[in-house]
Amino acid sequence: MQFRPESSPLPRLTLLALGLMAAIAAMFVSLFSRQIIHGVYCPLRTATGVPCPTCGSTHAIVSLLHGHLFGALRYNPLTTATAALFAAAFTWAAVASISPRWRIVPVLSALEKRAILYGTALLLLANWFYEVWRLI
Protein backbone atom coordinates (compact mmCIF):
# COMPACT_ATOMS: atom_id res chain seq x y z
CA MET A 1 0.00 0.00 0.00
CA GLN A 2 1.28 3.41 -0.93
CA PHE A 3 0.11 6.87 0.06
CA ARG A 4 -0.33 9.97 -2.06
CA PRO A 5 -1.47 13.51 -1.25
CA GLU A 6 -5.24 13.90 -1.33
CA SER A 7 -6.55 15.39 -4.55
CA SER A 8 -9.83 16.60 -3.09
CA PRO A 9 -10.89 17.41 0.48
CA LEU A 10 -14.42 16.09 -0.18
CA PRO A 11 -13.92 12.54 1.27
CA ARG A 12 -12.26 13.94 4.40
CA LEU A 13 -14.96 16.56 4.91
CA THR A 14 -17.68 13.99 4.26
CA LEU A 15 -16.14 11.76 6.92
CA LEU A 16 -16.13 14.67 9.36
CA ALA A 17 -19.79 15.41 8.64
CA LEU A 18 -20.70 11.74 9.11
CA GLY A 19 -18.78 11.70 12.39
CA LEU A 20 -20.67 14.73 13.66
CA MET A 21 -23.97 13.14 12.67
CA ALA A 22 -22.91 9.94 14.44
CA ALA A 23 -22.11 11.98 17.58
CA ILE A 24 -25.58 13.53 17.49
CA ALA A 25 -27.13 10.09 16.97
CA ALA A 26 -25.04 8.74 19.87
CA MET A 27 -26.41 11.44 22.17
CA PHE A 28 -29.95 10.57 21.05
CA VAL A 29 -29.35 6.84 21.59
CA SER A 30 -27.81 7.38 25.00
CA LEU A 31 -30.75 9.52 26.10
CA PHE A 32 -33.40 7.08 24.85
CA SER A 33 -31.49 3.78 25.06
CA ARG A 34 -34.15 1.94 27.03
CA GLN A 35 -36.89 2.76 24.50
CA ILE A 36 -34.63 2.02 21.53
CA ILE A 37 -33.47 -1.35 22.86
CA HIS A 38 -37.03 -2.54 23.42
CA GLY A 39 -38.38 -1.10 20.17
CA VAL A 40 -35.89 -2.41 17.59
CA TYR A 41 -36.26 -5.95 16.25
CA CYS A 42 -34.41 -7.79 13.50
CA PRO A 43 -36.86 -8.63 10.69
CA LEU A 44 -34.92 -11.76 9.65
CA ARG A 45 -34.78 -13.11 13.19
CA THR A 46 -38.44 -12.28 13.78
CA ALA A 47 -39.52 -14.06 10.57
CA THR A 48 -37.20 -17.08 10.62
CA GLY A 49 -35.66 -17.32 14.08
CA VAL A 50 -32.18 -17.09 12.53
CA PRO A 51 -30.17 -13.99 13.43
CA CYS A 52 -28.64 -11.82 10.73
CA PRO A 53 -24.91 -10.90 10.82
CA THR A 54 -25.76 -7.54 12.38
CA CYS A 55 -28.08 -8.82 15.11
CA GLY A 56 -27.14 -7.26 18.41
CA SER A 57 -25.73 -4.11 16.84
CA THR A 58 -28.12 -1.81 18.67
CA HIS A 59 -27.25 -3.45 21.99
CA ALA A 60 -23.53 -3.24 21.14
CA ILE A 61 -23.69 0.48 20.35
CA VAL A 62 -25.66 1.22 23.52
CA SER A 63 -23.11 -0.80 25.54
CA LEU A 64 -20.27 1.16 23.94
CA LEU A 65 -21.99 4.46 24.72
CA HIS A 66 -22.29 3.39 28.35
CA GLY A 67 -18.60 2.42 28.44
CA HIS A 68 -19.06 -1.36 28.50
CA LEU A 69 -16.53 -2.55 25.89
CA PHE A 70 -16.74 -6.26 26.75
CA GLY A 71 -20.53 -6.13 26.75
CA ALA A 72 -20.44 -4.56 23.30
CA LEU A 73 -18.06 -7.26 22.07
CA ARG A 74 -20.39 -9.93 23.45
CA TYR A 75 -23.42 -8.49 21.66
CA ASN A 76 -21.75 -8.01 18.27
CA PRO A 77 -17.97 -8.01 17.81
CA LEU A 78 -18.14 -6.84 14.19
CA THR A 79 -20.18 -3.75 15.07
CA THR A 80 -17.79 -2.94 17.91
CA ALA A 81 -14.76 -3.24 15.61
CA THR A 82 -16.50 -1.17 12.93
CA ALA A 83 -17.29 1.56 15.46
CA ALA A 84 -13.63 1.61 16.55
CA LEU A 85 -12.48 1.80 12.91
CA PHE A 86 -14.91 4.64 12.24
CA ALA A 87 -13.70 6.50 15.34
CA ALA A 88 -10.09 6.13 14.13
CA ALA A 89 -11.03 7.38 10.64
CA PHE A 90 -12.90 10.34 12.14
CA THR A 91 -9.89 11.18 14.29
CA TRP A 92 -7.63 11.04 11.21
CA ALA A 93 -10.02 13.34 9.30
CA ALA A 94 -10.10 15.82 12.17
CA VAL A 95 -6.29 15.87 12.48
CA ALA A 96 -5.89 16.12 8.68
CA SER A 97 -8.19 19.13 8.65
CA ILE A 98 -5.82 20.89 11.05
CA SER A 99 -2.45 19.57 9.85
CA PRO A 100 -1.79 19.54 6.06
CA ARG A 101 0.88 16.81 6.27
CA TRP A 102 -1.82 14.31 7.30
CA ARG A 103 -3.78 14.95 4.10
CA ILE A 104 -2.84 11.70 2.40
CA VAL A 105 -4.91 8.86 0.98
CA PRO A 106 -3.97 5.20 0.46
CA VAL A 107 -3.47 3.84 -3.04
CA LEU A 108 -4.37 0.15 -3.15
CA SER A 109 -3.35 -2.35 -5.79
CA ALA A 110 -5.91 -4.72 -7.30
CA LEU A 111 -4.58 -7.53 -5.09
CA GLU A 112 -4.95 -5.43 -1.94
CA LYS A 113 -8.49 -4.42 -2.90
CA ARG A 114 -9.40 -8.07 -3.47
CA ALA A 115 -7.82 -9.07 -0.13
CA ILE A 116 -9.85 -6.40 1.68
CA LEU A 117 -13.04 -7.53 -0.07
CA TYR A 118 -12.50 -11.21 0.78
CA GLY A 119 -11.39 -10.38 4.31
CA THR A 120 -14.52 -8.32 4.88
CA ALA A 121 -16.72 -11.11 3.53
CA LEU A 122 -14.93 -13.61 5.78
CA LEU A 123 -15.37 -11.38 8.85
CA LEU A 124 -19.08 -10.94 8.06
CA LEU A 125 -19.51 -14.69 7.70
CA ALA A 126 -17.58 -15.36 10.92
CA ASN A 127 -19.74 -12.82 12.75
CA TRP A 128 -22.86 -14.52 11.43
CA PHE A 129 -21.63 -17.89 12.73
CA TYR A 130 -20.95 -16.23 16.09
CA GLU A 131 -24.50 -14.84 16.20
CA VAL A 132 -25.95 -18.27 15.46
CA TRP A 133 -23.59 -19.98 17.98
CA ARG A 134 -24.62 -17.47 20.64
CA LEU A 135 -28.22 -18.73 20.40
CA ILE A 136 -27.26 -22.34 21.02
Q: Where are the domains of the chain?
A: 8-135
Q: Which helix (H) or strand (E) holds 82?
A: helix 77-98
pLDDT computed for residue 74 by the predictor:
93
pLDDT computed for residue 7 by the predictor:
86
pLDDT along the chain (136 residues), means of 10: 89 92 88 76 81 86 91 93 94 92 91 96 93 85
Q: Which helix (H) or strand (E) holds 61?
A: helix 57-65
pLDDT computed for residue 17 by the predictor:
94
pLDDT computed for residue 27 by the predictor:
87
C-alpha distance from residue 69 to each of 41, 50, 84, 98 (Å) = 22, 25, 11, 30
pLDDT computed for residue 41 by the predictor:
76
